[in-house]
Structure 1
Amino acid sequence: MGLNSLVGSTAIVAALVSVGAEASATEIDTAIVFAVDVSGSVDPATAELQREGHAAAISSQAVLSAIARTHAGCIAITYVEWSSYGQMRSVLPWTNVCGPEDAQAVASAISEGGDRGFGCEAMCQTSISFAIDMSVTLLGSYAGKASNKIIDISANGINNDGLPVEESRLRAIAAGCTINAIALPEIRLGVRNDLTSYFADNVIGGPNAFVMPLTSPSLYTSALRQKLVKEISLAEPTGAVGSVALLAMPETR
């Protein structure tokens, strides 16, 4: 399916830590794991939406302005793709983004290296629990110090493989992480299912946690941009653990 199949927790941890050490050791406001769903339900159009949406959002002026307003003037990000339990691939190791040149380099790496939606050779399930657990590992491997640790889940389905997602959410919260999510519209047998409530009830958690709903795939990039601005602007978490805030839909302009 195009992902590195990592069987066994020791191998998974070692592999993820090995790809997570390129960012320089520094104190920043926010470290973000972009954890992107590339399971069997992600077709080429959805893969492009996620890949190019993240590339466009991180290099947008709105996000760059939010980064510039932080105490350190930098954030750290890593971009990984996941599907079933044990299947995760690093597209971008930990990288500090401190201005337009950094952001453009990150955007290019995501755009060039991200999933194309053709790599699923077998039945690729959706293990959000695995994505959360491995994101906690990645945040633990970050060489610097981040006051705000964010796991950004982008997915178009519910957790149907691996451990119960509620258990992984609790472990992430206990580790001081916030899990946010963006819910891609899911279509099964021609019927669209709204994943927003599922993500709000079962996936997100931690200080200032929220889920970004989508009524149309065309809003994905603008929604992701708004999501990142909010996350970066909340560098000093004040919300209650496990709090939920649903953002209003972004304007299309």
Structure 2
Amino acid sequence: MARTADSSGRLARTGRRVLIASAPILLGIAAQGRAAETGAPVDLELVLAVDISYSMDADEQQVQREGYVSAIVSKPVLDAISLGPLGRIAVSYVEWAGADEQRTVIPWTVIDGPSSARAFADRLAAAPLRRAYRTSISGALIHSARLFEGNGFASARQVIDVSGDGPNNQGETVEQVRDEVLERGVVINGLPLMLKRPSFSMMDVGDLDVYYRDCVIGGPGAFMVPVRSVDQFPAAVRTKLVLEIAGLGPEAPAIPPGGTDALPTAAERGPSKADCTSGEQLWRDRFGN
């Protein structure tokens, strides 16, 4: 079962075992086996897929970028990497918006300590910020899933970490693509950005966390960390990276309750399910196409 972590909490224990989650690799997007025998071994292959749609203003995008830059060199993240069996992970950073707007900002890079983490962070900090139209989570997942093919690495875990502040409103339906990615054995985690604003866009959905839970994330140990205000973002990114790198399973919460910001689990919410085409419907209602 997928779980929700509170972005204001801290990791309760860093010395936990890594959760190994493997599955057959066959994706409808592109059928290709994982070259486990020939790839360079790492503990984790991680794609950071970051929303750059116009629904996020320039200040929010700057905070988002700085959050990733600071998180990748933070002590909790470096400690989590060092505790892995091999002590190294492979990371790629992707920016996405509409169905035809995906860009790999940083290709696959090994992070195995402070020096390589700092090099990754410096490269990311130097990349220009950009924005683009529409929101295609499905397009981001398709692009991210293809990055695992022939990337030169081998691991027991492949994870897509997708962040965004709205529902899918362009491209393939997110639920269908999500299921195809999961069939490959790739885990999808989420960072729904539920940022507080003076007024809400006509393209917003009320419970983006529920939408991400039911329509976006999935796979063994999948989880999400909702962000409700800009100032929560740095801690949320650190928390999420530590959980992903450590491979903590959902059976034992790694983050203690964080007060009023803590979200109930899926079981506590009950069986209600989000409408996974709500974004497309909002777009049609507003623009008629």
What is the aligned partner in structure 2 of residue 232 from structure 1? Answer: 245
What is the aligned partner in structure 2 of residue 173 from structure 1? Answer: 182
Residue 162 of structure 1: SS of its match in structure 2? coil
Instruction: State the AA in 1 paired with 2:55.
Output: S
CA contact 1:132–1:168 (8 Å) conserved in 2: yes
CA distance in structure 2 between the aligned counterparts of 1:250 and 1:90, rounded to whole angstroms:
34
Residues 136-169 of structure 1: CA distance to partner in whole angstroms, max 9, x if unpaired? 1002232110111010101111100001000111
Q: How does 1:103-252 map to 2 (within 5 A)?
A: 103-116=117-130, 119-120=131-132, 124-186=133-195, 190-191=199-200, 193-234=206-247
CA contact 1:213–1:247 (8 Å) conserved in 2: no
CA distance in structure 2 between the aligned counterparts of 1:246 and 1:73, rounded to whole angstroms:
20
Residue 71 of structure 2: SS of its match in structure 1? helix
Instruction: State the AA in 2 paired with 1:215.
Output: R
CA distance in structure 2 between the aligned counterparts of 1:140 and 1:249, rounded to whole angstroms:
38
CA distance in structure 2 between the aligned counterparts of 1:51 and 1:250, rounded to whole angstroms:
24
Residue 141 of structure 1: SS of its match in structure 2? coil
Q: How does 1:46-57 map to 2 (within 5 A)?
A: 46-57=60-71
CA contact 2:93–2:106 (8 Å) conserved in 1: yes
Gaps of 5+ in 1: 1-12, 14-23
Distance 1:160 1:186, change over 3 A: farther
Residue 161 of structure 2: SS of its match in structure 1? strand
Aligned residues: 220
TM-score by length of 1: 0.79
Larger radius of gyration: 2
> For 2:85, which of 56, 71, 85 is the aligned residue?
71
Instruction: State the AA in 2 paired with 1:211.
Output: M
CA contact 1:91–1:109 (8 Å) conserved in 2: no
The alignment's C-alpha RMSD in Å is 2.7
Please identify which structure carries the higher strand content: 1
Gaps of 5+ in 2: 1-29, 31-37, 262-289
CA distance in structure 2 between the aligned counterparts of 1:39 and 1:188, rounded to whole angstroms:
16
TM-score by length of 2: 0.70
CA contact 1:34–1:153 (8 Å) conserved in 2: yes
Distance 1:38 1:249, change over 3 A: farther
Q: How does 1:95-110 map to 2 (within 5 A)?
A: 95-110=109-124
Task: Note the C-alpha offset of 1:185.
Answer: 1.6
